[in-house]
């Protein structure tokens, strides 16, 4: 069986579960459990756990209620990172605060190559965990290519496919976490659908002209 970083796996001979955070020599795989410890284990002693990697304390039987007359929210798709650096394990979430249902794809970029790591539908006002990694390897965290298609049966403005690259840098984790009410925890949060700032060539030209020293 072929594994990849971020896969949620279960030990064959022990009641242990965790996420793959490293590949080592001699077919040894590093699995980090919720305590933050990375456990080396032979590849033939783990099995993949299928599912959407929601948080363990989610109430899966809860019925999702959508307010039909609530204002339409067209912005607020986030990538959130949960966990404490001292504990070891970082969990990556896509968080959808909008009124759209979204189709989202995440690839890992390796030069000109792409490796798919996640593809799923996320409902409005919902979230899903899509990746995990060890804080000790933050310099090796992947550069993600993310594509998002937004959908709603309610009237809304046309939206293009959102396509961007995203990579967490060590300095990014020096910022204060934000509380996310959908997750119910504090996370480092990055808005994926934030409009790109573009002052335009004319404004840029005017800026340099207005700041040019007076010539005699």
What tens digit of pLDDT does each residue of 90-121 get?
Answer: 999 999 999 999 999 999 999 999 999 999 99
Q: How far apart are the first and last CA of the chain?
A: 75
Q: How many CA atoms lie within 13 A of 201 on its CB side?
A: 0
Q: What is the pLDDT of residue 60?
A: 45
CB 28 within 8 A of CB 130: no
Environment class of 116 (CB within 10 Å of its CB; exposed 0-12, middle 13-18, buried 19+)? exposed
The CATH number for 8-48, chosen from 2.30.30, 1.10.3470, 1.10.10, 2.40.50, is 2.30.30
Q: Start-end ranges of CATH 2.60.40.1600 in the chain?
A: 77-200
Q: How many CA atoms lie within 13 A of 98 on its CB side?
A: 24
Between 172 and 189, the more confident residue is 189
Residue pointed to by tokens 């009124």: 99
Q: What is the pLDDT of residue 1?
A: 57
- CA 202/CA 124 separation, integer angstroms: 39
- Percentage of the chain surpassing pLDDT 70? 81
Residue 62 confidence class, pLDDT cut points 50, 70, 90:
very low
Whether pTM exceeds 0.95: no
Q: 122 is written with which tokens? A: 């996320």
**Across all residues in the chain, what is the average pLDDT?**
84
Q: What is the pLDDT of residue 82?
A: 93
Between 126 and 51, the more confident residue is 126
CA of 197: how far to CAs of 24, 57, 209, in Å? 42, 38, 21
Between 143 and 1, the more confident residue is 143
CATH architecture, range 77-200: Sandwich (2.60)
Q: Start-end ranges of CATH 2.30.30 in the chain?
A: 8-48
Q: How many whole angstroms from its chain centre is CA 108? A: 12
What number is the average pLDDT over the span 156-180?
Answer: 91
Q: 122 pLDDT exceeds 70? A: yes
Strand intervals (E) in the chain: 8-11, 17-24, 28-32, 38-42, 46-48, 77-82, 89-96, 101-110, 113-122, 126-134, 144-151, 162-166, 178-180, 185-191
């Amino acid at each position: 069986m072929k594994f990849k970083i971020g896969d949620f796996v279960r030990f064959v001979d022990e009641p242990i579960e965790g996420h793959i955070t490293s590949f080592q020599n001699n077919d040894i795989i590093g699995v980090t459990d919720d305590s933050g410890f990375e456990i080396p284990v032979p590849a033939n002693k783990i099995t993949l756990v299928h599912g959407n990697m929601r948080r363990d304390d989610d109430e899966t039987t809860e019925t999702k209620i959508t307010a039909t007359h609530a204002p339409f929210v067209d912005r607020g798709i986030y990538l959130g990172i949960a966990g404490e650096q001292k504990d070891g394990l970082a969990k990556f979430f896509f968080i959808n605060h909008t009124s759209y249902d979204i189709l989202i794809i995440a690839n890992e970029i390796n030069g000109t190559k792409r490796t798919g790591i996640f593809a799923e539908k996320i409902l409005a006002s919902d979230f899903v965990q899509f990746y995990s990694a060890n804080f000790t390897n933050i310099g090796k965290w992947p550069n993600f290519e993310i594509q998002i298609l937004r959908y709603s049966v309610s009237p809304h403005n046309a939206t293009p496919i959102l396509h961007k690259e995203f990579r967490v840098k060590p300095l990014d984790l020096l910022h204060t976490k934000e509380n996310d009410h959908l997750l119910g925890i504090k996370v480092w949060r990055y808005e994926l659908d934030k409009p790109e700032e573009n002052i335009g060539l004319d404004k840029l030209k005017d800026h340099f002209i207005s700041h040019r020293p007076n010539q005699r």
